[in-house]
Amino acid sequence: MSTLDGISGLSLVARVRAVDPDAARLYLEFRSGMFATVDGLDPFDVRSPTGFGVGRRVLVRERDDHVELAPDELWPDEPWVGVVRIKLEDTTVVDSGGSWRLLPTRRDVEYEVGNTVEVREGEGVVRVLSEKPIRWLDPPDVDDDIVSKFSPGEGNGRETFEDFGGLQGVVERARELIEVPLKRKEELAAIGARPIKGVLFTGPPGTGKTMLARIIANSADARFYEISGPQVFSKWYGESEGILRKVFEHAASQERAIVFFDEIDSVAGQRAEESHEASRRVVAQLLTSMDGFSADENVVVIAATNRPQDIDEAL
C-alpha cells in the first residue's frame, strides 16, 4: 500500500529521502513539496547499493504505485549557498538564510568555518565561493576615506578667542581642561596627572558651543573632527559603529586631536528597554572607543548638548 492520495498524473518524478530496509519502505519527496511512502517493494531493491538509495530519482506510476529508477536529469540538483558554522570530521553545519542544515563532511573539498560555500543535495559542499561570510545585504566597506567627511584636514577655520565674545569664565575653564592637556601632555604625565577623556558643553542653541570647540582646536593645533547624529547613523547593520571606530582610530594617529559631537544626545541618548538596537550599539561603541584611549594617544572628546538630562548615564 502507499500514501499517494491526492497526487494526479500517470507518473511522477520523486526523490528518495529515506529508506527503511526492514519494512522495504521508501520515503519520497515530490517536486511539488509533497511527501509519500511506498511499501511492498522488493527487499533486494531496497537494500542493494544500486537500488533505491537515498537521493536517487524514481518514477512513481499512480495507477498501481509501481516504482522504478529514473535518470537524475529528471530532477537535477539545484545548488544553494550558505555559510559554514561548524565543521566536524563527519558532519558539517551550514547556515542558509537562518536555517541550519547538516551535511556530510567532504575530504576532497577544502573549506573552513566562516567560508561561504556552494552546496548540492547528495554531494555536500562542492566549492568555496568566499573565504568570508556573504550577507544578504552587503554594506559598503567603511574605509579611511569616510574620515574626510568629518575632518577635511584643511584647518578648523580662522576663529580665535578674540572672536568669541563673553563667557570668559567658561572659556578659561574649557582651555584649562582641553588645551592644556593637549599641549602639555609630557609635563602632566611627569607629575602623574591623569588627562581627561572628554568635556561636555551645555547651553541653549546659538551660544557658541561648536565655535568654542573649533577655536580650542585651532589654539592647540589639534586635528578637529565634527560629528552629528544623522552623519553617524546608517541604514546598514554595523556601519554606524564602523564609522565611529574609523574616526577614533584616525584621531589616535594624530599628534593632537579633538573629536567633537554636536547634539550628543542624538547619538548617545539614554539606553532603555524600548531603545532601538542600533542606538544601543552606537552608545556601546562610543564608550568602548573612549575607554580604549592609551596614555600615548593625545585625543580629547568634546560633546555639546542643550539636553544634558537625555545623555546616557554611562557616558
The 10s digit of each residue's pLDDT in 193-237 is: 777 778 888 888 888 888 888 888 888 888 898 888 666 665 555
Q: Which three cell numbers mark 300?
A: 580629547
Report the 10 Å Cβ neighbour count for 153.
Answer: 12
Q: Are residues 122 and 266 in the same domain?
A: no
87 within a domain of the structure (yes/no): yes
Q: For residue 8, is pLDDT > 80? A: no
Q: What confidence score (pLDDT) does residue 246 get? A: 85
The burial of 129, by beta-carbon neighbours within 10 Å (0-12 exposed, 13-18 middle, 19 or more buried), is given as middle
3-class state of residue 261 by DSSP: strand
User: Which residues constitute the domain of residue 291?
Assistant: 144-310
Mean pLDDT for all residues in the chain: 79
Does 57 share its domain with 98?
A: no
Are residues 101 and 158 both part of a single domain?
A: no
For the segment 91-110, the average pLDDT, to the nearest whole number, is: 87
Rounded CA gap, 94 and 41, in Å? Answer: 34
Residue 66 predicted with pLDDT over 70:
yes
Q: Determine the pLDDT at residue 1.
A: 42
Is residue 216 located within the same domain as residue 272? yes
CATH number at residue 298: 3.40.50.300
Cβ count near 214 (within 10 Å): 21
- Is residue 136 situated within a structural domain? no
Q: What is the pLDDT of residue 179?
A: 78
pLDDT tens by residue, 259-302: 998 888 877 777 666 555 667 777 788 888 777 666 556 888 88
**How high is the pLDDT of residue 293?**
64
- Lowest mean per-residue pLDDT among 68-77, 143-152, 176-185, 257-266: 143-152
55 found inside a domain? yes
Residue 104, in any domain of the structure:
yes
Q: Judge whether residue 149 has pLDDT over 70.
A: yes
State residue 112's pLDDT score.
93
pLDDT value of position 188: 77
* Residue 171, pLDDT score: 81
Looking at the domain assignment, is residue 2 inside a domain? no
Same domain, yes or no, for 177 and 239?
Answer: yes
Grade residue 116 by pLDDT with cuts at 50, 70 and 90: very high
Q: Would the pLDDT of 60 be above 60?
A: yes
User: Is the Cβ–Cβ distance between 224 and 216 less than 8 Å?
Assistant: no
Residues 168 and 125 occupy one common structural domain:
no
In the chain, the number of structural domains is: 3
Q: What is the pLDDT of residue 157?
A: 62
Percent of the chain surpassing pLDDT 70: 82
Taking CA atoms, 153 is separated from 42, 92, 159, 160, 221, in Å, by: 81, 50, 16, 18, 12
Cα 205 to Cα 23: distance, rounded to the nearest angstrom: 82
Strands (E), 53-123: 57-61, 66-69, 80-87, 91-96, 99-104, 116-120
Burial 142-151 (b: 16+ CB within 10 A, else e): beeebbeebb
- CATH for 49: 2.40.50.140
